[in-house]
Amino acid sequence: MVEDILKVFGITAQQSGVSTGKHWLPAHGADIISVSPVDNKKIATVKSASREDYDLVVAVAQEAFKVWRMWPAPHRGEVVRQVGEALRQHKEQLGKLVSYEMGKSLQEGYGEVQEMIDICDFAVGLSRQLHGLTMHSERPGHRMYEQWHPLGITGIISAFNFPVAVWSWNSMLAWVSGNVCIWKPSEKTPITALACQRIVETVFVANNVPEGVCSLVTGNREVGEWMAHDTRVPLVSATGSTRMGKSVGAAVGERLGRSLLELGGNNAIIISQDADLDMSLIGAVFGAVGTAGQRCTSTRRLIIHESVYDAFTARLVKAYSQLRIGNPLDQHNHVGPLIDTAAVAAYQQSIEQVKQQGGTFLVEGGVLSGAGFESGCYVKPCIAAVENVYRIVQHETFAPILYVMKYQTLTEAIAMQNDVPQGLSSAIMTLNLREAEQFLSQAGSDCGIANVNIGTSGAEIGGAFGGEKETGGGRESGSDAWKAYMRRQTNTINYSTSLPLAQGIKFDL
């Protein structure tokens, strides 16, 4: 199956990971071997970029920007529309490849490609709406307005858990805005990036898009560091851990560049005494075990009213007993593997810390072995009764570990929800209008995303995506997130016969 998919995208067993969107360049860096967590089989070997390879790609991108920025935005949008059509044609193959290389369920793999298609549609419409404002001038015979111009090169550093969708959030908006992009994909999922590059370059070549508008530079951490320190890259969009984001943010900030950071989450759902418990169960379970707990929006904590705590946790335990764990390409399975054995080790360490810090398990965890689990990356989703102040609860573990805790008043629950370093996604399950409005008020959730009667996971592309505090403060995808990829310019035009100064200043010669 995988071999056939690789053939569709023209990916060979030994493949360069450096492309300018028109040519695949010889790469001179280290080999990156992509191994599937599903069955521990090698997918392909990718040759990564050396510093010289990286510098060549940046130079080509700089020249491409001079041409691409002059294309009318609707024409750029038409190219992105065609990218969306190409993704539609390859949805099944790319979705399977995402599932196999990353380990998420096949339905989630298909969903990730659909998210790419959706952002293409959004960007096409946006290409005709990159609007500014007009303002009344205090000076007679003057007109003021503001407009938006592209920044230049957008550097994109993506994470393994959404190996293609988050790249598309950035690239599609950056392209219609007139920017060029250089993508550094996760070294854990390079093959899906190669497939996307093949899809896009076919469209770009057919439309005579300048070489360098869409570039790929595969590599390890050092490639991201080159990008973060590179003054030729005015915007770096980085998705990953808070630790990584702090490093990128510091490097980009030191050179007064711009960074768009999408970092860790420690997301909670408040289960009210007035909640629909059936609805709450679906939201909590999917949020906790979807993508094997490896989403930045995964549900990590359930803050449950004491009056429904016993009833709801009993339902939760029963639901966990019905989860099917196994090959994610089998659509009967709910939970696939973690990305690699290092993630499994972090999962095991977190379980031990829960026990050491006083937590008790309602559903025990563990690593699965035997037939179908030979890769060593399959683990049991588990549930621990804890206190919010435990050090491990304050930390984001990228694994299916769900923490449950009690509350008495909504004010207390909101304080518990907010009392973690991260601030990405949050939710409350309640049929009480007052509770819902309090949760969404200025004194409510401090997260970038706050939901009522849906879970923390599964954002739509129409809204701006991102969070506060150690989540980084960036916003991607919908709403006016496009402004992050552009620079604002204020213009004043004098069409009078004199030159009056602002603030009534007199300067006569």
Catalytic residue IDs: 262
| Stretch (H or E) spanning 32 | strand 31-35
Contact 10, 191 (CB under 8 A): no
Q: What is the 3-state secondary structure (H, E, C) of 329-370?
A: CCCCCCECCCCCHHHHHHHHHHHHHHHHCCCEEEECCCECCC
Main-chain dihedrals φ then ψ at residue 73, nearest 5 degrees:
-55, -40
Q: Report the candidate in 401, 437, 500, 486 with the shortest Cα–Cα distance to residue 69.
A: 486
Three-state DSSP state, 109: helix
Contacts of 1-8 with C-beta under 8 Å, sequence gap 24+, read 1/96, 1/100, 1/329, 2/36, 2/41, 2/43, 2/97, 2/100, 5/93, 5/96, 5/97, 5/195, 6/43, 6/44, 6/191, 8/90, 8/93
CA angle centred on 233, ends 230 and 235, rounded to 5°: 120
Q: How far is CA 451 from the centre of its chain?
A: 18
DSSP 220: S
